[in-house]
Amino acid sequence: MIHSLFVINNTGDVFMEKHWKSVVNKSICDYFFEAQSKASNPEDVPPVISTPHHYLINIYRGSLFFVAVVTTEVSPLFVVEFLHRICETFEDYFSECTESTLKENYVIVYELLDEMLDNGFPLAVESNVLKELIRPPNFLRTITDTVTGKSSGVSATLPTGQLSNIPWRRTGVKYTNNEAYFDVIEEIDAIIDKSGSTVIAEIQGYIDCLIKLSGMPDLTLSFVNPRLLDDVSFHPCVRFKRWESEKILSFVPPDGHFRMMSYHIGSNNTVAIPIYLRHNIYYKEGSGGRFDVTVGPKQTSGKTIENVVLEVPFPKTVLNVTLTATQGKNSFDPVSKLMTWDVGKIDPGKLPNIKGNITLQTGVPIPEANPIITVMFTINTFAVSGLKVNRLDMYGEKYKPFKGVKYITRAGKFQVRT
């Protein structure tokens, strides 16, 4: 399936490559660079690029491009999902997936790629199975490997889970404190027009789990309103037939962190927008312009909106913006023309406001359009879709675990047209 993998940084250097079948020359990346040069943003590079003899399937993550080379017809989403799984494994092992981290851990990266793909096909992709095969880096292991010149990270025995019909969970798991935590995370992708009406709004949701349970527990998780969930995808541990018939999640969980499911709530459902902007931005011939924006909460069920950040990309004809904010910090980059306002927490009794003057270059026409404002925010203990976990039951073990559920709503691609 996957012939080769190239990892490319922002400057266009192919600093890492891995081949599973025959070696594909690095010059194949020229097709990728050509497509990249036509894209205005790194995220806009086409995910699938056709070449005379290969297909290049890529993702952009952590300021890096991961480019997979395939030679036969294959589902692109299958490859995209696998590339994201590679990045998540690196983040789990090294706490981040950046160029410097990958270079520091070259040996472990190649060991992981060898185990995750066998002759180009996915093999071991579960984090806890990989950790039994290849130990995560630590200070002592680094010193030992440096002194001996050998890698001491690869286990000599096969993971216990690989021999069972539940390959994602190792046998003989024991904990003093048995705990199960579930994070319901929802990201709002929205476009709001000039008048404040919603052009489009969708929710991308995830349920991330941290399971520390002894033995081989069998869990069921039910929701108060499961009919809300549209386009769902599950971790292999979830029994799909039970979900189809009863809308209940039944599963034997992996040990540790994992993403149990992701879901999508489309624009055919009404999505409550939790934040609004009052804006007045205009340019005047010859003198510059004015900028006035106020941020406020809306439909948050009384929850506080935190970590609010506004980014405003001004046109190249703008020389400077002089702004005063009633709350938070603001900065303007004269090179990229990007104004950033870090608002922080919104107090409904005193709405944050920023206003000031825009200075334009002399002798140039005023900009034709106002900027599009990108908004980032977080609302804790709140799921914007209204999704609620009903109960979690455990079978197969006699102890009583501690259970916790946390809800988080945050902005995905949230834009306001002005």
b/e map 290-314, b = 16+ CB within 10 Å: ebebebebeebeeeebeebbbbbeb
**Residue 21: its pLDDT value, please?**
84
What is the pLDDT at residue 221? 95
Rounded-to-integer distance, Cα 286 and Cα 110, Å? 59
The residue type at 198: T
Query: What number of helices (H) and strands (E) belong to the chain?
Result: 7, 23
> What is the C-alpha to C-alpha distance for residues 379 and 376, in angstroms, rounded to an integer?
11
Query: 82-109 burial, b if ≥16 CB within 10 A, otherwise e?
Result: bbebbebbbbbbbeebbbebbeebeebb
280 pLDDT band, cuts 50/70/90, is: very high
State residue 42 phi and psi, 5-degree precision: -55, -35
The predicted pLDDT at position 286 comes to 72
Predicted local confidence at residue 47, as pLDDT: 94
Tell me: pLDDT of 189 over 60.
yes
Structure tokens at 75: 């589902």
Question: Which H or E element spans position 365?
Answer: none
- Go through the chain and tell me how many residues it has: 418
pLDDT band at 300 (very low <50, low <70, confident <90, very high): confident
Task: Give the SS3 label for residue 402.
Answer: strand
Q: What is the pLDDT of residue 19?
A: 93
Element (H, E) at 360: strand 353-360
- Residue 82, CA distances (Å) to 5, 116, 120, 126, 350 in order: 12, 9, 11, 11, 46
As given in the structure block, the two tokens for residue 407 are: 């809800």
- Chain-centroid distance of CA 128 in Å reads 21
Categorize the per-residue pLDDT at 158 as very low, low, confident or very high, splitting at 50, 70 and 90: low
Tokens for 391, please give them.
Answer: 């109960």
Highest mean pLDDT among 122-136, 155-169, 333-347: 333-347
Query: Where does the pLDDT of residue 136 fall: very low under 50, low under 70, confident under 90, or very high at 90 and above?
Result: confident
| Beta carbons within 10 angstroms of residue 362's beta carbon | 8
DSSP 43: G
Helix pair angle (106-116, 76-94), 10° resolution: 140
H or E, element range at 344: strand 338-344
Distance CA(132)–CA(158), nearest Å, equals: 8
More confident residue, 286 or 131: 131
User: Percentage of residues in the chain with pLDDT exceeding 90?
Assistant: 59
